[in-house]
Structure 1
Amino acid sequence: MRSLSWLCCCLLSMLSVLVMVGRISAQSLDHPAPVAPVENPCPRPAAGSVVERESALYARSGELRVRFSYQSRRDEAGRVLYCFMTPDGKQNPTLHLRPGDHLLITLTNNLPAGSGAMAISGPICGAAIMDSSSVNIHFHGGNISPTCHQDEVIKTMVNSGQTFRYDMKIPANEPPGLYWYHTHIHGLSESMLQGGAAGAIVVEGIENVQPVVAGLRQRVLVVRDQLVPGAPSPGGDIPSWDVSLNYVPITSPSAESPHFVPAVLLMQGGEKQFWRVANASADTILDLRYLWDGKAQTMQLVARDGVPIDSQDGKRTGESIGLGHILLPPAARAEFIVEAPPQGVKLAQLVTQNIDTGPLGDNDPTRPLATIRTGDAFALQAEADAADRLPAFSGASTGQQRFAGLAQAPLAKVRTVYFDEIQPTAFFMAVEGRPKHVFDPSLPPDIVARQGTVEQWVIQNRTMENHEFHIHQIHFLIESQDNFEINGSPQPPGIAGQYLDMVQVPYWDGNPQHPYPSVKVRMDFRGPDVGDFVFHCHILQHEDLGMMNIIRVVPRGSPGEGR
Structure 2
Amino acid sequence: MMLVVFVVAVLVTEGMSQSCSHTSPCAFTGGDPFVAPPEQVSVSGVLNYELTVDIADITIEWLTTKRRAWNGQLGGPVLRMRKGDQVNINLVNNLMLPHKLLDVNDQRLPNSTNLHTHGLHISSQEPQDNVFVHLEPGETYMYRYQIDAENEPGTLWYHPHLHGSTLFQVHGGMAGMIVVEDPADSTTPAHIQAVSCPNNCDKEVRLLFQPVLQYSQRGPRAFATIQDDIQDNALFRHNSEILDAGGNLEDWLTANVNHFTTNGQLWPVLTIPAGEVRRFRMVNAGGGAFLELHIADNSDQPTTGCTVKQISLDGVYFDSAVELGAGGRTFLVPSGKADWLVVCNTPGTYHLRSTPDNADEMSTGNIEHYNARLLTLTVTGSTTTTTTIADNLPAKATFNRDFSTLSDDEVFGRFVIEASPGTRLNRERFSSNTDYRFKMEAETVQELYFVNSDSQDGHPIHIHINHFQIISYNPYTGPIAVNNRQSYVFFNQAGDRCFRQHSTYDENFTGNLPNNALQFLGHDTRWAAGGTGTRGYATAKQFHDVLLVPPLANITARFLTHTYTGEVVVHCHLLNHEDSGMMMTLEIVAQGADLTANTTSGNAYPGQCAECDPFPFNTAVCDADGSTLTTTTTVAGTSTTATTTGGSDTIKTTGALMFFAVLLSWFSHSHVC
Taking structure 2 as the reference length, the TM-score comes to: 0.61
Give the structure 2 partner of residue 532 of structure 1: 567
> How far is the alpha carbon of 1:227 from its aligned partner?
4.5
Number of residue pairs matched by the alignment: 449
354-363 or 274-283, which moves further after superposition?
354-363
Deviations 1:125-173 (A, max 9, x none): xxxxx8331100000111111112100012x001111111001211001
The Cα of 1:355 is off from its aligned counterpart by: 5.9
Does 1:196 find its partner at 2:173?
yes
Deviations 1:365-415 (A, max 9, x none): 4221122113379xxxxxxxxxxxxxxxxx997684332253345112222
The AA in structure 1 aligned to 2:435 is P
Find the aligned partners of 2:217 and 2:85 in 1 and give their Cα distance: 44
Residue 5 of structure 2 aligns with which residue? none
Residues 209 and 262 of structure 2 are in contact (CA less than 8 Å); yes or no, is this contact kept in structure 1? yes
One-letter code of the match for 1:349? H
Letter in 1 for 2:546: M
**Cα pair 2:400 2:559 within 8 Å, conserved:** no
**Which residue, out of 280, 284, 293, partners 1:275?**
280
Q: Supply the distance in 2 between the matched residues of 1:266 and 1:279 (Cα, whole angstroms).
A: 22
Query: Structure 1 residues 536 and 363, CA, compared in 2 at 3 Å: closer, same or farther?
Result: closer
Structure 2 counterpart of 1:186, from 150, 156, 163: 163
Distance in 1, Cα, partners of 2:554 & 2:207:
30
| Residue among 438, 444, 447 paired with 1:453 | 444
The equivalent of 1:327 in structure 2 is: 331
- Following superposition, the deviation at residue 114 of structure 1 comes to 3.7
Query: Which residue of structure 2 lines up, in the alignment, with residue 248 of structure 1?
Result: 265
Q: Does residue 72 of structure 2 align to residue 95 of structure 1?
A: no
Structure 1 partner of 2:297: 292
From 72, 82, 100, the counterpart of 1:116:
100
SS in 2 for 1:438: coil
What are the within-5 Å matches in structure 2 for residues 315-354 of structure 1? 319-323=320-324, 324-340=328-344, 342-343=346-347, 345=348, 347-354=349-356
- Post-superposition Cα deviations, 1:341-373, rounded to whole Å, max 9, x if no partner, equal 513x4x411111126668984542422112211
Whole-angstrom distance in 1 between the partners of 2:330 and 2:256: 20
CA distance in 1, matches of 2:581, 2:130: 18
1:478 is matched with which residue: 470, 475, 480? 470
* 1:224 counterpart residue number: 210
* 2:494 is equivalent to residue 503 of structure 1: no
- Counterpart of 1:303 (choices 312, 316, 325) is 312
109-118 or 495-504, which deviates more: 109-118
Give the superposition deviation at 1:486.
3.3
Distance 1:371 1:244, change over 3 A: same
Using a 3 Å threshold, how does the CA distance of structure 1 residues 398 and 373 change in structure 2: closer, same or farther? closer
Conserved 8 A contact 1:104-1:167: yes
* Aligned counterparts of 2:264 and 2:594: Cα–Cα separation in 1: 50
Q: Which residue of structure 1 aligns with residue 233 of structure 2?
A: none
1:375 to 349, 372, 380: 380
Task: Indicate the SS of the match to 1:178.
Answer: strand
Unmatched 5+ residue regions in structure 2?
1-27, 196-202, 223-254, 383-391, 476-519, 527-532, 600-673
Distance in structure 1 (CA, Å) of the matches to 2:179 and 2:217: 35
Per-residue CA shift, 1:411-463, capped at 9, x if unaligned?
122222221113xxxx1111xxxxx2111226611111111211211112222
Structure 1 residues 477 and 272: CA distance shift in structure 2, 3 A = same
SS in 2 for 1:157: coil
- Identify the range of structure 1 (56-65 vs 536-545) with the bigger mean alpha-carbon deviation: 536-545
Aligned-partner SS, 1:458: strand
8 Å Cα contact 2:75-2:173 kept in structure 1: no
CA distance in 2, matches of 1:116, 1:98: 39
Q: Secondary structure at the match of 2:540?
A: coil
Cα 1:290–1:239 change in 2 (3 A) is farther
Say which SS state the counterpart of residue 364 (structure 1) adopts: strand
Aligned to 2:388: none
Task: Please name the residue that 1:259 is paired with.
Answer: none
Matched, 1:462 2:453: yes
- Relative to 1, partners in 2 of residues 1:371 and 1:399: Cα closer, same or farther, differing over 3 Å? closer
Matching residue of 1:39: none
Pair 1:429-2:436 in alignment: no
Q: Do the aligned partners of 1:477 and 1:497 also contact (CA within 8 Å) in 2?
A: yes
Matched, 1:66 2:49: yes
* Contact 1:268/1:375 (8 A) holds in 2: yes
Q: 1:139 aligns with which of 96, 107, 117?
A: 117
Letter in 1 for 2:268: A
1:83 matched to 2:69: yes
Change (3 A) 1:415 1:337: same
1:520 aligns with: 556
